[in-house]
């Protein structure tokens, strides 16, 4: 946290919180004035399957547990995955079950200043069997759910690997987008390490009405401080009209 603040970042994100020294983390956030924007409810390797009603109680327990930690740390957004698809049950039945799990979790945190973010990962490397295969399937689920404290984490790195053009599915649905994450392609590195036109991406997102943080979920090629320099370079191009 202190290194990120020293590099110039006003906000940070973490994955699993259960292996973190939470007291020290809280002190670092307070000392630096840094905002913890998101944290994950589960380790992606040990996630609940929302298509399985038998796992809903455990999912809600994990959401409630994470929400309590998030409130202590001033973190407003909790990231969740829907889990994997089953070949033995109709897809609509599984999606309905996932919606029920999210509704129960929504109720559990209704009185807290936090929201759930449903993320879709790429099918190439990380989620070939994911229940939610793309942005449209996630947004369709959230539209049916219609809970203000359950929104979409639009990860453009994953979306690009899934073959989603800029604006596909999210155009007209920006109120459902609660957070955006990015990483350059190929390789999931910092801006400038790959070949993607991120100035065009961010310019479109701003014009579409997104006004929140954009998280750089990347593995830097060089020093971590280079993440900030790369981001600043892209933002200058956005300001200059690319």
- Measure the CA–CA gap between 92 and 96, rounded to whole angstroms: 6
Closest CA to 136 of 126, 125, 124, 144: 144
Q: How far apart are CA 134 and CA 131, in angstroms?
A: 9
Identify whether the C-beta of residue 147 lies closer than 8 Å to the C-beta of residue 106. Answer: yes
* Residue 119 a catalytic site member: yes
Active site residue 136: no
Q: Catalytic one among 37, 119, 164, 190?
A: 119
Instruction: Record the tokens describing residue 11, joined without a space.
Output: 């906000």
Query: How many residues does the structure list for the chain?
Result: 242
Closest CA to 150 of 131, 178, 126: 178
Phi, psi of 151 (to 5 degrees): -130, -170
Three-class secondary structure of residue 19 per DSSP: coil
* Sign for the pseudo-dihedral over CA of 78, 83, 89, 91: positive
Q: Cβ–Cβ contacts within 10 Å for residue 214, how many?
A: 21
Omega before residue 186 within 30° of 0, cis: yes
Which residue is it, tokens 């920006």? 174
Residues that are catalytic: 119, 217
């Amino acid at each position: 946290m202190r290194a990120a603040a020293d590099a110039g970042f006003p906000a940070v994100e973490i994955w699993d919180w259960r292996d973190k020294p939470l007291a020290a983390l809280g002190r670092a956030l307070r000392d630096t004035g840094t905002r913890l924007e998101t944290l994950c409810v589960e380790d992606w390797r040990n996630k609940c399957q929302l298509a399985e009603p038998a796992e809903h109680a455990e999912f809600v327990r994990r959401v409630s547990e994470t929400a309590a930690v998030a409130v202590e740390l001033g973190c407003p957004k909790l990231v969740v995955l829907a889990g994997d698809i089953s070949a033995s049950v109709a897809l609509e039945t599984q999606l309905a079950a996932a919606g029920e799990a999210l509704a129960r979790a929504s109720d559990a945190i209704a009185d807290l200043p936090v929201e759930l973010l449903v993320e879709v990962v790429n099918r190439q490397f990380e989620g070939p069997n994911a229940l939610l295969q793309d942005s449209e399937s996630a947004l369709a689920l959230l539209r049916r759910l219609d809970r203000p404290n359950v929104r979409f984490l639009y990860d453009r790195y994953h979306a690009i690997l899934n073959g989603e053009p800029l604006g596909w599915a999210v155009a007209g649905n920006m109120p459902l987008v609660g957070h955006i994450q990015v990483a350059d392609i190929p390789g999931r590195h910092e801006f400038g390490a790959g070949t993607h036109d991120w100035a065009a991406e961010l310019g479109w997102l701003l014009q579409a009405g997104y006004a929140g943080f954009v998280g750089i979920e990347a593995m830097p090629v060089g020093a971590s401080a280079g993440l900030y320099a790369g981001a600043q370079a892209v933002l200058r191009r956005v300001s200059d009209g690319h």
